[in-house]
A and B are shown apart, each in its own frame.
Chain A
């Protein structure tokens, strides 16, 4: 099934990303070995100039990854008509064993790339590029991950067979099946609500504490990153356990993808876009904290981290508010 337009586009995008990272690997090694900001040599000058090229390249890779996550889910949704048993993206992703790993890989690469860009951003604001070695070391670590995610995606698309009978959200997210997703779906609504609102609330409070402290307290920055990660997982679990039920107005349909469908007015995007943005911002605020003591970054990092905290606080609050609004609008009575 490689000759599907969206699949060709996705493979094209991952090839571009892998090529960009592979192309920048030798340069990254060069920087790690030879970088010396005090030197005025020709080589140092060249290295400094090249950092512009590679940070622009990485920005392009990040934007591509973000767009690719969206297109990947869009496309899975659309192709569900072609597989027996598939009614939404879940069915398409379940056609073979690589579907969900490919999606998770893409999401992971997106968050890691966001953290890298945060480090890159503060580094380029400082006069002496103090993080250049760390940055390119991290880039080398990111490359295999990106390649792995591209490989999983390729395997997934190569192995898409239309004659496979797949199982869709009805069976995957039903309470009896032995998967993590099913465990999350099986969470009774009241504990799930505690988890959902508790973790989002904690993330908002920590982001506010960090932001109002001017982004200077390092501990709150780390905690914010941790809380963002937890809130991301808890929100997805909460969507599985009860938000989706309210949206579908059906007590047993726990699907995180059907809410993206036109039948439900694309409501899912209202939840996912702020959630992803806020999580990326929260993680970014944490990612820059280890470098807050470096002399040239003393002013840059608190300022940056304060802004990220503001984005995270607003984003998580918005997610919770939108979910609550959807629950309020729903005609389903889950709790007496």
Chain B
């Protein structure tokens, strides 16, 4: 065992020296390889962080949201609907919620107007999200007017701006009192937008949803788990599509690696010839070449991965953001939480190192079977 390790150490030593002798050629390959790892790792790290972020945001959302459907469209909850739900075992709280969208022609963006369940602002006052603060240049105690859908102008005083930390969920949010909300949208009295239910036991959520649809056939229960699953599937799918597009790049890289490995210079051929003449076997030459590939692969993988980490978590993945994140006028600025996932590193390894290994296999073998006499004579 010790002998074996010693042998590999000497082989690595030799390989490093031989790599250093042909710097220009190997650095070119290393650069391309690193770039490939960098791109792929950026995509996977970024989507994973987004998935985590979505999951974190949804942790605090209610387990079930009930919407009422009329002719397949979302409709208002009429008075008396809450009572019809009645007491379902397992449901801790039932809250009727008021919220809606408002299109602001000035910023050409949609805002979400909402009445908070507790600590609602006083009548005529609003609390705005950070993105709104930026886009309309607002600060606390400023006044702002919105033209409602009925054509009337409503003026509000900004009581506060929501903290930056909540931006992912509150970027376009405008919080107001129930009275202001109903006046602004001409919302019929006693009607609500939807109902939020909290369920303590996660295994009961499905039963609650079943009972709801039995009691109220026109209700559509939306489960938090389903939303989470959909998010995960969407981000995975986006990541998969981008990776599939990159497969062309992987293929091109494979061809490059093949070319580089098979285009042995005369000097290299002579080197192998001499090694064989002084007693190396074909297997030894293959081992040496294997270590060469291994060193290049691991270096590229490590450097590429670290660069991708910096790119995603310090520069907000500026290169792939538009494809992976989605798009909106008032898009929240948010800081992603660094997170590395074992499966992703393993997947990345499959995408980069194995294609490289497969591509250089035949050229390595061709180099290793070179006859010493034919090379040294030529």
CB distance from A304 to the nearest CB of B (A): 13
A56 to B287, CA, bound (A): 10
CB distance from B294 to the nearest CB of A (A): 12
Contacts A5-B44, A13-B354, A81-B232 given; does A49 touch B369 at CB 8 Å = yes
A8 x B243 contact (CB < 8 A): yes
CB distance from A171 to the nearest CB of B (A): 14
CB distance from A6 to the nearest CB of B (A): 5
Q: At the interface with chain B, which of A70-78, A199-207, A225-233?
A: A70-78
Q: Does A295 contact B (CB under 8 A)?
A: no
B351 contacts across to A, CB distance below 8 A: 5, 8-9, 12
B350 x A52 contact (CB < 8 A): no
A71 x B361 contact (CB < 8 A): no
Q: Does A219 contact B (CB under 8 A)?
A: no
A74 x B350 contact (CB < 8 A): no
B247 contacts across to A, CB distance below 8 A: 8
A13 x B350 contact (CB < 8 A): yes
Interface string of A1-36 (1 = CB under 8 A from B): 111111111101100100010000000000000000
Q: Does B197 contact A (CB under 8 A)?
A: no
B357, closest chain A residue (CB) = A60
B241 contacts across to A, CB distance below 8 A: 3
Contacts A4-B240, A9-B347, A74-B343 given; does A52 touch B283 at CB 8 Å = yes
A269 to B343, CA, bound (A): 15
B40, closest chain A residue (CB) = A5
A13 contacts across to B, CB distance below 8 A: 350, 354
Contacts A49-B282, A82-B229 given; does A3 touch B369 at CB 8 Å = no
A20, closest chain B residue (CB) = B358
Q: Does B344 contact A (CB under 8 A)?
A: yes
B240 contacts across to A, CB distance below 8 A: 2-5, 7-8
A6, closest chain B residue (CB) = B347
B365 x A53 contact (CB < 8 A): yes
B349 contacts across to A, CB distance below 8 A: 67
A19, closest chain B residue (CB) = B358
B358 x A5 contact (CB < 8 A): no
Size range of the chain B interface in the assembly: 35 or more
Q: Does A236 contact B (CB under 8 A)?
A: no
Beta-carbon contacts under 8 Å, A33-78 to B:
49, 52-53, 56-57, 60, 64, 67, 70-71, 74-75, 77-78
A71 x B343 contact (CB < 8 A): yes
Beta-carbon contacts under 8 Å, A100-136 to B:
124
Q: Does B236 contact A (CB under 8 A)?
A: yes
CB distance from B291 to the nearest CB of A (A): 13
B244 x A53 contact (CB < 8 A): no
Q: Does B126 contact A (CB under 8 A)?
A: no
Contacts A56-B286, A56-B361 given; does A5 touch B243 at CB 8 Å = yes
Q: Does A162 contact B (CB under 8 A)?
A: yes
A60 contacts across to B, CB distance below 8 A: 357-358, 361
Pick 17 A–B contacts, CB within 8 A, sort by A. Answer: A3-B237, A4-B240, A5-B44, A9-B346, A12-B354, A16-B354, A20-B358, A52-B369, A53-B362, A56-B290, A56-B364, A67-B354, A71-B347, A75-B343, A82-B229, A82-B232, A82-B233
* Complex A-B, nearest 3 residue pairs according to Cβ-Cβ distance, in ascending order: A3-B240, A9-B350, A53-B365
Chain A: residues with CB nearer than 8 A to chain B?
Answer: 1-10, 12-13, 16, 20, 49, 52-53, 56-57, 60, 64, 67, 70-71, 74-75, 77-78, 81-82, 124, 162
Given pairs A5-B243, A13-B354, A56-B364, 14 additional interface contacts (CB within 8 A): A4-B237, A5-B44, A5-B351, A6-B346, A9-B346, A12-B351, A16-B355, A52-B283, A57-B361, A64-B354, A70-B346, A75-B343, A81-B232, A82-B233
